């Protein structure tokens, strides 16, 4: 009798163990993805549930327990609940730099991850990221990048591309205006291995800026850098996550990890609590009315140096925009001209310089910026000198520089442009002490 009871107890324990294993691993849809076992291996996680608990949620310890009760969290939950209950498409947009640009090439695209986690097929992800760009380029080019898309959620990820708080504020302001403050904005903090080792002060500044903006506007913040740093150099080797060729971009498994972090966090918000008293109100929520406003000036489809060499093609990610292009050299002038593609007839202003000419239609007062694109940390500083002419009259001379793989913004004019039409000409060249300057974008915001 004793042996029979012992056998029954052992059988029960084994059965419960199998059930618990199935519950903690097999029944969790996250664990069905091919990359998760590798991520568990890297982080020394013994189960998928422990991996999620320790590395995915809670996703932002900065806010503490009150974070779950914030308006942004509840708004996202209600927005997703409304769409799914109505069987409508959930549209998620992405704005960022080269890190988020590479997400579609990951093992599993974010849309597929979200569709599986939510068990809901009508989730779409629109990736408007552009390599080497910061927030101000997106702020000035929203119509170019997003066209007429009506989004429910937008993820902002600029890694080391943005350290200017005002630029990030401009982007958030323009997004709120465009979607009538009826959109969930998620700030995603992603760092780089190179910044950790060579510029920790700048890195801390960037992380602090993201948190400050999230707090100022009441946004959702997912700090992937703190998630990864729980095991940095301890539970995984850095080169398992970061590409050692430049130490600035995650490898495929790193991009997988970022996407799982974002997707699992959104699902955690959705599952955390649903208030039945708000169901009727959210079901009657009116649709979003997008403010269809054309960009005042947005030359962002290409990134070119001042000699007209195409450095990186943007037109596959943006709907409109032009590039500087080498015009035929005028036999009676000594300089080579650079001109906007639909306006190659502008006069050259100085010898041995390069010029961009464009007609600007300003519909509302805005400040004119230009951006300089660097080659990355540890690379030479790029310096660009620009002479600014409006209607063939010299107005201003300005110098800007860039080092990191970002578009550092500089004010092109000391005053805002009023409503009207302007013939804008820029004469630019790199300084003798640096390689040719790379101008990424010219924008009016």
54-112: pLDDT as tens digits? 888 765 556 556 677 788 888 999 999 999 999 999 999 999 988 898 888 788 899 99
Superfamily of domain 59-283: SGNH hydrolase (3.40.50.1110)
pLDDT surpasses 70 at 313: no
Domains 59-283 and 297-444 share a fold: no
Per CATH, the number for 297-444 is 2.60.120
| 198 vs 64: which has the higher pLDDT | 198
- Taking 60 as the threshold, does the pLDDT of residue 288 lie above it? yes
Cα separation of 378 and 356, whole Å? 30
Pairwise CA distance, residues 19 & 27, whole Å: 10
For 111-124, the pLDDT digits (tens) are 999 999 999 999 99
Annotated domain spans of the chain? 59-283, 297-444
Higher pLDDT, 305 or 269: 269
- The residue that leads in pLDDT, 38 or 232, is 38
End-to-end alpha carbon distance in the chain: 84
Helix axes 48-55, 35-43, angle to 10 degrees: 70
Whole-number pLDDT of residue 65: 61
- Taking only the tens place, the pLDDT of each residue in 235-259 is 777 778 887 677 888 888 889 999 9
Burial (CB count <10 Å: 0-12, 13-18, 19+), residue 69 = exposed
Residue 440 has pLDDT above 90, yes or no: no
Report d(CA 375, CA 434) in Å as an integer: 12
């Amino acid at each position: 009798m004793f042996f029979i009871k012992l056998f029954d107890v052992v059988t029960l324990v084994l059965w419960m163990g199998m059930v618990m294993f199935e519950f903690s691993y097999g029944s969790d849809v996250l664990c069905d993805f091919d990359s998760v076992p590798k991520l568990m291996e890297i982080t020394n996680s013994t189960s998928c549930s422990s991996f999620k608990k320790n590395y995915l949620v809670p996703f932002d310890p900065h806010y503490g327990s009150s974070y779950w009760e914030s308006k942004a969290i509840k708004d996202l939950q209600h927005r997703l609940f409304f769409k799914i209950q109505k069987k409508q498409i959930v549209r998620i947009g992405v704005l960022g730099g080269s890190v988020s640009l590479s997400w579609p090439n990951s093992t599993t695209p974010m849309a597929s991850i979200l569709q599986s986690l939510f068990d809901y097929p009508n989730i779409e992800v629109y990736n408007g990221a552009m390599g080497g760009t910061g927030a101000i380029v997106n702020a000035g080019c929203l119509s170019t990048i997003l066209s007429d898309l009506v989004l429910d959620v937008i993820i902002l990820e600029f890694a080391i591309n943005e350290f200017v708080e005002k630029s990030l504020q401009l982007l958030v302001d323009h997004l709120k205006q465009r979607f009538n403050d009826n959109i969930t904005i998620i700030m995603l903090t992603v760092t780089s291995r190179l910044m950790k080792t060579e510029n920790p002060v700048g890195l801390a500044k960037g992380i602090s800026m993201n948190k400050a903006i999230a707090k100022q506007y009441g946004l959702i913040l997912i700090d992937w850098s703190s998630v990864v740093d729980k095991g940095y150099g301890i539970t995984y080797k850095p080169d398992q996550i970061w590409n050692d060729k430049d130490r600035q971009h995650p490898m495929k498994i790193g991009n997988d990890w970022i996407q799982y972090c974002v997707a699992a966090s959104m699902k955690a918000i959705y599952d955390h609590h649903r208030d039945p008293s708000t169901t009727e109100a959210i079901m009657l929520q009116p649709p979003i009315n997008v403010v269809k406003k054309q960009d005042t000036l947005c030359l962002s489809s290409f990134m070119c140096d001042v000699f007209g060499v195409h450095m990186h093609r943007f037109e596959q990610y943006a709907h409109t925009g032009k590039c500087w292009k080498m015009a035929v050299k005028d036999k009676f002038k000594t300089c080579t001209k650079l001109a906007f593609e639909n306006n190659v007839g502008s006069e050259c202003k100085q010898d041995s310089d390069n010029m961009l000419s464009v007609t600007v239609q300003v519909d509302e007062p805005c400040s004119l910026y230009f951006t300089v694109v660097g080659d990355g940390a540890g690379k030479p500083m790029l310096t660009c000198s620009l002479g600014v002419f409006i209607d063939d009259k010299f107005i201003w001379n300005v110098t800007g520089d860039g080092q990191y793989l970002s578009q550092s913004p500089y004010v092109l004019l000391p005053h805002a442009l009023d409503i009207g039409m302007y013939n804008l000409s820029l004469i630019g060249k790199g300084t003798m002490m640096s390689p040719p300057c790379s101008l990424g974008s010219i924008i009016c915001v």
